[in-house]
Amino acid sequence: MNVFEMLAQSALRFPTRGAVYRGQEQVLDYAELHDRALRIGAALRGFGQPGDRIAVASENRVEYLEAMYGIWAAGMVFVPINAKLHAKEMVQILDDAGASAAFVSPKLADDLADALQGSDSAACRLLRIDSGGYRALLDTEPDASLVPQDSAPDALAWLFYTSGTTGRSKGAMLSHRALLAMTMGHLAEMEHFDENASQIHSAPMSHGSGLYIPAYIARGARQVLPTSGSFDPAEFLDLCDAHPSCGAFLAPTMVQRLRLEAERTQRRPTGLRSIIYGGAPMYVDEMKKSLAVFGPIFGQIYGQGEAPMTITALRRQEHVGADDAVLGSVGMPRLGVEVRVVDEEGQPRPVGEIGEVICRGDVVMSGYWRNPKASAETLRDGWLYTGDMGSFDTHGRLTLRDRSKDVVISGGSNVYPREVEEALLTHPAVAEVCVIGEPDAEWGEVVVAFVVPVEGGALSREALDAHCLDRIARFKRPKRYVFADSLPKSNYGKVLKRELRLQLATLEH
């Protein structure tokens, strides 16, 4: 099987039905999307082979969907890259994936081309999606016979780059089987809709919003791309009034902004059917306020890139009349996924006791791309060890208690402290640094850097901001710097982050 077949079937069922919209304007119907994907697939096979990794570095655009399905039509591997990353970080992903080509948006093309010079991926072919070269791909004669009809279910389909506490990107290998399991689980449990529905992509398609594309494609529903290219609450409400039966994946901070806009304008969108939220902690108080404004349209998912969007869920109906304990949980295990909470020896913990969350099922990744050591550490005896700490209640609901990994989740985006620390340590006036997250009502968490200057060195927030912006993505930059004479350490020389968190709680902003 090949997940491209979901598009092929919808094109047969609904050839003239609108498939892709930019704002309120239809851009492609299903027959056109299918045809353009086949043309791109045929062009890719003209200079590559099945199994090649093809990256897409772009904001949410119509071409993103064409490229995604064109890559699968060619039997190749889709490698989405977060458009907010620094060009140097994008090159790290291209290097690791061994990508032979990358579709890139006009906004990112020049910086990425410059960053590629002298890298291991210097030969990677850049396909600028507004160029004559891209249009030439669409002139290629479509050839449906190129689509591997007998693809092995475990063949690699999606290389989803995530990072560990080391900050180095790791490619979670998602097979066609995993994507199908994710899609079927979503349609069975989280959203019930038909071809008369719409998905609004206000969140990045390189992450959660993009992972739900196959479900909507399978139903022959609409893909709606905001004209602003990002999340604008007023535009989102407009689109919900313009399109039928709208659903979306939003980070908790987006839910809050949407709720504030609806309260400010007293607007209640007629076409808003469902919001799936996840990717960061949702405050119970915020969910209560949002339920009061929009009604019971919310569903929560807990997942990782290694088990995309599909470990546990708090379904829409479970939000109705729920108490704080239920709203503070991440729900129950998903269909086809086993979830346990275990101790350090991998033995199940009793109800109410905290341990590491592990899971297994078809949706779980095959391993990390070209990283057997990390794969062996994370996949053990068929189980994915998530690194998240949690506990089950007597009803089988999971509550996440803490993260054993030191990831800071700010505005739904993962920020890995080691990446920020390494960037700051390249500043000649920085002797030591430690990065932690601080709870924040708007962003969930914000990045805070404790910085020790070199003896006699002079540092300022402005200088460190500029230094970071030259090396890492803007959203990873610390929101706050705390200058210190030293960092608290254990007898083994390890920085004691728990003591830094206590210090942070006593400091005035």
d(CA 353, CA 390): 8
Q: Is residue 13 part of a domain?
A: yes
Q: E-strand spans in 215-259? A: 222-225, 246-250
Which domain CATH number covers 50? 3.40.50.12780
Asked whether the CA dihedral 134, 136, 139, 143 is positive or negative, the reply is: negative
Same domain, 381 and 457: no
Same domain, 91 and 147: yes
Q: Quick one: which H or E segment has residue 384?
A: strand 383-392
Same domain, 339 and 376: yes
Same domain, 326 and 412: no
Helical segments of 74-105, H only? 87-97
Output the pLDDT for position 167. Answer: 54
Please report which confidence band the pLDDT of residue 509 belongs to, taking 50, 70 and 90 as the band edges: low
Tens of pLDDT, residue by residue over 409-434, are 888 887 878 788 888 988 999 988 99
User: Which among 234, 232, 227 is positioned nearest to 265, based on CA atoms?
Assistant: 234
Output the pLDDT for position 490. Answer: 60
Same domain, 368 and 412: no
Q: Is residue 256 part of a domain?
A: yes
Same domain, 184 and 311: yes
Q: Is residue 400 part of a domain?
A: no
Angle (CA) 415-368-55 rounded to 5° is: 75
CA 59 to each of CA 14, 30, 207, 474: distance values in angstroms, whole numbers, following the listed order: 27, 22, 11, 15
Same domain, 164 and 234: yes
Output the pLDDT for position 192. Answer: 95
**Residue 331 clears pLDDT 50, i.e. is over it:** yes
Output the pLDDT for position 493. Answer: 56
Q: What is the mean pLDDT of residues 354-367?
A: 96
Last residue of a domain, one of 392, 424, 450: 392
Output the pLDDT for position 414. Answer: 79
How many domains does one find in the chain? 2
d(CA 457, CA 46): 56
Q: Is residue 399 part of a domain?
A: no
Which domain CATH number covers 430? 3.30.300.30
Same domain, 365 and 465: no
Last residue of a domain, one of 363, 392, 421: 392
**Residue 441 clears pLDDT 90, i.e. is over it:** no
d(CA 307, CA 200): 23
- Count how many residues are written for the chain: 509
Output the pLDDT for position 498. Answer: 82
Q: What share of the chain in percent tops pLDDT 90? A: 76
d(CA 268, CA 259): 10
Q: Write down the mean pLDDT value for the chain.
A: 92
* Residue 240 CA from chain centroid, whole number: 23
Output the pLDDT for position 279. Answer: 81
Q: What is the mean pLDDT of residues 121-141?
A: 92
Please report which confidence band the pLDDT of residue 166 belongs to, taking 50, 70 and 90 as the band edges: very low
Q: Quick one: which H or E segment has residue 132?
A: helix 132-138
Lowest mean pLDDT among 166-180, 244-258, 328-342: 166-180
Per the listing, tokens 């230094």 go with 467
Please report which confidence band the pLDDT of residue 285 belongs to, taking 50, 70 and 90 as the band edges: confident
Q: What share of the chain in percent tops pLDDT 70? A: 96
Same domain, 416 and 451: yes
Tens of pLDDT, residue by residue over 33-63, are 999 999 999 999 999 999 999 999 999 999 9
Output the pLDDT for position 163. Answer: 57
Q: Is residue 369 part of a domain?
A: yes
Lowest mean pLDDT among 212-216, 309-313, 398-402, 471-475: 398-402
pTM for this model (two decimals): 0.84
Output the pLDDT for position 508. Answer: 66
Per-residue exposure over 265-283, b if at least 16 CB sit within 10 Å of its own CB, e if not: eebebebbbbbbbbbbebe
Same domain, 334 and 269: yes
Same domain, 429 and 348: no
Output the pLDDT for position 186. Answer: 97
> Which one is predicted more confidently, 404 or 28?
28
Lowest mean pLDDT among 126-140, 170-184, 345-359, 412-426: 412-426
The domain in which residue 329 lies consists of 4-392
Q: Is residue 294 part of a domain?
A: yes
Q: Is residue 398 part of a domain?
A: no
> Which one is predicted more confidently, 410 or 386?
386
Q: Is residue 403 part of a domain?
A: no
Please report which confidence band the pLDDT of residue 165 belongs to, taking 50, 70 and 90 as the band edges: very low
Write out the two tokens for 56: 């897409």
> Which one is predicted more confidently, 57 or 497?
57
Last residue of a domain, one of 392, 419, 446: 392
Same domain, 416 and 348: no
